Structure 1
């Protein structure tokens, strides 16, 4: 069933708005969580050809993330520093109510010409919920709440008098004015469990999956798209990957090994315990990190498994393989963000576009 989208693959990057970077490792990183660094990074990414930036949502320290900037306010700061880049603000049901989120995002949308999107995070860190006094729901209940959250967001943004009767959220003739600017904010979500895929098929615009091989990604893509088609919908797919682009493959592999060699074993094991328990609570006993090894967990979205590690030519070819598997977007992490995002824009994205153009010419000639 998998069909490659005729559109160019898009690129997004993880915003390092929490400390510790994107790896649970003690390796030195020329990456900072502070505002000035991230404003400049957003401008670099925009010039490099990135379409989106995704802010992270964390409320408590853990696994190297001692400091965290709040995601929605930070997203607005990045939007104010750029002209074209879209920023996806991560939002966690529980701490957020759809009413507040809808109003925050509508205002930011008006202020930025519609460049704000949202990523609804169902939650994996039970200790975080306990720390802030929020109930920790069962696995499928978390996704059921997220689905209601998305339905409420979309209803508030599109209806003049929104009425809704859910188990978690209820509205009676609620009118939000002003609405967001057009186009409406895109709604992203992640997860690999059955509940996550089913929710994406019913309500989300985009589905994020953890890093994986093209073959395994294709299985998830086909499942989501078949279920979405049955609902009369279509869903775009984003794939996580950690990029180590160097002039030679040996250099890139040496960096990967150094990251793993200097991993914080206690933090990696604690993170793995937390996320595997969250996934194991699903009825099928499987979630995003069910098959992740210690080495995979050093990059906390299984980004090494997508294998964007090597020379620019190798990485461009592997991005096309992800696209062949159904990916519409590559969501990327880096070790030294500013310089590596710039290098990726100079050396990798042009190669990807050349490969895409060549394929388009071959199809046209066939």
Structure 2
């Protein structure tokens, strides 16, 4: 467990969604020059690494739906991308229930050794009940899913850092279990999680290294972040924050807004509404009805994780300024989605990221 309750000073980091699931990152019939296959994703990972991205996040899906007819498995796909790169860190998405923490701990420890410490994990508590039913897995109530995820993470931490690890929870049990070799990453591979509900935030404050939240306005993001960090500080911890954003960077603001308008105009209503029914059921199932997607509009749902709300849509200068403003409210990482991944990741690295670093340097001088 992290022993600091203060935010470390560092440049804001960047991740991108790995399109290992078909259909792209918007539920729209607009052209998306992207592909879910390994050849495209290998080129994308290499482009992102060269552009200055720090992380890539693979997706976890078991069944087709909402425009995603094909899905590559997250852990094996992540390993392939790691072997095609040299610096990029890849987050493998894992779903407690189908996976057991002992299997994941061993799997990721091996990959950590094979890639010199570049694997991380994103623990997904589950939002798609139909998917669980399709593969014969029990569908737990909202807060129970997060309770299981917390046990899952506690088990991972214990296995990765302790010999003769014992744990007696409601979902997982271990008896004097020792994993060898343990990961190269110290104290262990980074652990990410997502969610917006009370249960998700409290879990992050207790056990996670990173917390992903859906896209939102700066004011609403700051309220979430302040809440999490206050809870984390009570445990002597600091949780790093990642926010989802769909990036539309163009030479002019008019061009960027026109792309957004076309995405929404060509949205697939049947797929968006079906996705909305599934995720809002999950989001509103939390006791306080504040889970992910609980308040999402149709336009928000055209991008899976409310990425339009973060408003990284405009010129490189506008987007860079908004990113630095996100950093000022406590965001440590921006998780980016794009319409045409390879060319837009390259453009982002060439046009946006240098401006972000210039603005960060200017603000550091002022603060000094």
- TM exceeds 0.5? yes
Alignment correspondent of 1:203? 207
Alignment correspondent of 2:20? 17
Distance 2:365 2:269 in 1: 49
Q: Which runs of 4+ in 1 moved over 6 A?
A: none
Query: Residue 32 of structure 1: which of 24, 31, 35 is its match?
Result: 35
Deviation track 1:243-277 (CA, whole Å, cap 9, x = no partner) reads: 00000000000000100011000110111111111
Displacement after TM superposition at 1:182 (Å): 2.4
Query: Residue 148 of structure 1: which of 147, 151, 162 is its match?
Result: 151
Displacement after TM superposition at 1:5 (Å): 5.6
Distance 1:208 1:5 in 2: 18
Structure 1-normalised TM-score?
A: 0.98
Asked if 1 retains the 8 angstrom alpha-carbon contact of 2:246 and 2:307, the reply is yes
Distance 1:344 1:24 in 2: 22
Asked if 2 retains the 8 angstrom alpha-carbon contact of 1:4 and 1:323, the reply is no
| Count of equivalent residues | 363
Deviation track 1:66-89 (CA, whole Å, cap 9, x = no partner) reads: 000000000000000000000000
Alignment correspondent of 2:273? 269
Alignment correspondent of 1:98? 101
SS at match of 2:181: coil
Q: Which structure 2 residues correspond to residues 298-309 of structure 1 after superposition, within 5 A?
A: 298-309=302-313
Distance 1:14 1:118 in 2: 14
Alignment correspondent of 2:70? 67
Asked if 1 retains the 8 angstrom alpha-carbon contact of 2:25 and 2:337, the reply is yes
Alignment correspondent of 1:228? 232
- Tell me, yes or no, if structure 1 residue 320 matches structure 2 residue 324: yes
Distance 2:38 2:239 in 1: 33
Distance 1:54 1:145 in 2: 22
- Tell me, yes or no, if structure 1 residue 82 matches structure 2 residue 80: no
Alignment correspondent of 1:293? 297
Asked if 2 retains the 8 angstrom alpha-carbon contact of 1:94 and 1:134, the reply is yes
Out of 279-288 and 64-73, give the one that drifted further.
Answer: 279-288
Structure 1: segments with no counterpart, 5+ residues: none
Deviation track 1:27-55 (CA, whole Å, cap 9, x = no partner) reads: 11100000010011000000000000000
Distance 2:168 2:315 in 1: 53
Displacement after TM superposition at 1:361 (Å): 1.1
Distance 2:154 2:15 in 1: 25
Alignment correspondent of 1:54? 57
Asked if 2 retains the 8 angstrom alpha-carbon contact of 1:186 and 1:205, the reply is yes
SS at match of 1:281: coil
CA RMSD of aligned residues (A): 1.1
Asked if 1 retains the 8 angstrom alpha-carbon contact of 2:253 and 2:315, the reply is yes
Displacement after TM superposition at 1:279 (Å): 1.4
SS at match of 1:30: coil
Alignment correspondent of 2:3? none
Asked if 2 retains the 8 angstrom alpha-carbon contact of 1:4 and 1:324, the reply is no
SS at match of 1:225: helix
SS at match of 2:121: strand
Structure 2: segments with no counterpart, 5+ residues: 1-5
Asked if 2 retains the 8 angstrom alpha-carbon contact of 1:147 and 1:203, the reply is yes
Distance 1:271 1:248 in 2: 32
SS at match of 2:151: helix
SS at match of 2:267: coil
Alignment correspondent of 2:242? 238
Alignment correspondent of 2:361? 357
Distance 1:328 1:129 in 2: 32
Distance 2:295 2:282 in 1: 13
Distance 2:40 2:268 in 1: 25
